[in-house]
Each structure stands twice: as structure tokens, then as C-alpha cells.
């Protein structure tokens, strides 16, 4: 099934000038980019996006990191897109991520791990709607 998934190039990715390299891997893997923008999250918006993790020991650090610099949210679409994107990025902790994955190749820690990817088609839709209005998603170009 064709699925939509939200990616975010996290502040470490943008700050380290890796956005182009990571985007190239995403394009090469066959994802269509329906939407792309640059945003600076705040404690409020970053905490809202990761609300499911509120109360976890890493939550405050995660929100501080995600609001520490510019992010690039991407609305992506592909056959089997959610699982394929998770495969492309690798496990949360780069030490556990498979060779050749984005996190294994670029991430420095479990917290600063370069890129976000939705974990289900339902969350893909919800997370895309967090950053993009329907008219910002461009199908045919």
C-alpha cells in the first residue's frame, strides 16, 4: 500500500550540514517528497510533537534538543513507506543501527540521531498534519 510518513531532519543534521546528504539518500530510496519546509520548534511545539514520550527520563533532553536549532520536516510518500523509511534510517540508537543506515552512518548518540520517522501509517498521517496543511502537500510535480 502507498503510505505517507513524516521525516524530520533534526537540528544535529541541519547544524552539521548533513541535510543534503540525508535528503539524497531519501530520494535515492524512492520516496516522493510531497512537502518540505524549515522550522524552528519551541519547547511547546517540540513537546507537543513528542507528547507520547512525556514523563520518560529522556523527554526534557529530547525537547531541548529538538528546539535547539532548525529542523526540516518532510512529508514523504512511497509504497510501504512507513516501514521502508524506518529501515532506511535504522534503529533509534546508532550503535544498534544496521550498517549503511542513515543513523548508523551519521548519528552521534541515541538522543542526537539525525532523523525522525513515523512508526505507523496512522501516526504518519497525524504527524504530517502537525507540520503541513493539506494544500502544502503537492502530489503531481
Site string for Mg ion, 81-120 (x = CB under 5 A): --------------------------------------x-
* Number of amino acids touching Mg ion (CB under 5 A): 1
Least Å distance, CB 88 to ligand IDP, is 12
Region for residue 9 given its phi and psi (left: phi exceeds 0; alpha: psi -120 to 50; beta: otherwise): beta
Q: Is 110 in the site for ligand IDP (CB under 6 A)?
A: yes
Which CB sits closer to Mg ion, 105 or 119?
A: 119
Name the residue nearer to Mg ion (CB basis): 40 or 58: 58
Q: Which of 10, 103, 104, 116 is catalytic?
A: 116
**Residue 53 catalytic?**
no
- Using CB under 6 A as the binding rule, the residues of this chain from 36 to 55 that contact ligand IDP are 53
Alpha-carbon distances, residue 68 vs 79, 112, 118 (angstroms): 33, 11, 21
Rounded distance between C-alpha atoms, residue 125 and residue 141, angstroms: 21
Q: CB-based burial of residue 125 (10 Å sphere; 0-12 exposed, 13-18 middle, 19+ buried)?
A: middle
Q: Out of 5, 6, 116, 127, name the contact with ligand IDP by CB under 6 A.
A: 116
Cα separations (Å) of 87 from 38, 40, 54, 111? 24, 27, 26, 18
> Cβ(36)–Cβ(20) under 8 Å?
no
Hey, which residues are catalytic here? 116
Residues near ligand IDP (CB under 6 A) are 53, 58, 62, 92, 110-111, 113, 116, 119
Amino acid at each position: 500500500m502507498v503510505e505517507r510518513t513524516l521525516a524530520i531532519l533534526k537540528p544535529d543534521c541541519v547544524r552539521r550540514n548533513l541535510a543534503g546528504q540525508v535528503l539524497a539518500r531519501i530520494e535515492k530510496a524512492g520516496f516522493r517528497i510531497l512537502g518540505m519546509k524549515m522550522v524552528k520548534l519551541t519547547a511547546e511545539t517540540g513537546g507537543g510533537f513528542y507528547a507520547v514520550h512525556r514523563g520518560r527520563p529522556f523527554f526534557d533532553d529530547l525537547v531541548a534538543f529538538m528546539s535547539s536549532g532548525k529542523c526540516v520536516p518532510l512529508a514523504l510518500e512511497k509504497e510501504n513507506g512507513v516501514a521502508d523509511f524506518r529501515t532506511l534510517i535504522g534503529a533509534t540508537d546508532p550503535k544498534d543501527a544496521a550498517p549503511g543506515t542513515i543513523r548508523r552512518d551519521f548519528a552521534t548518540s541515541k538522543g542526537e540521531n539525525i532523523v525522525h520517522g513515523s512508526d505507523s501509517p496512522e501516526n504518519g498521517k497525524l504527524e504530517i498534519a502537525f507540520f503541513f496543511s493539506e494544500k502544502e502537500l503537492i502530489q503531481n510535480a
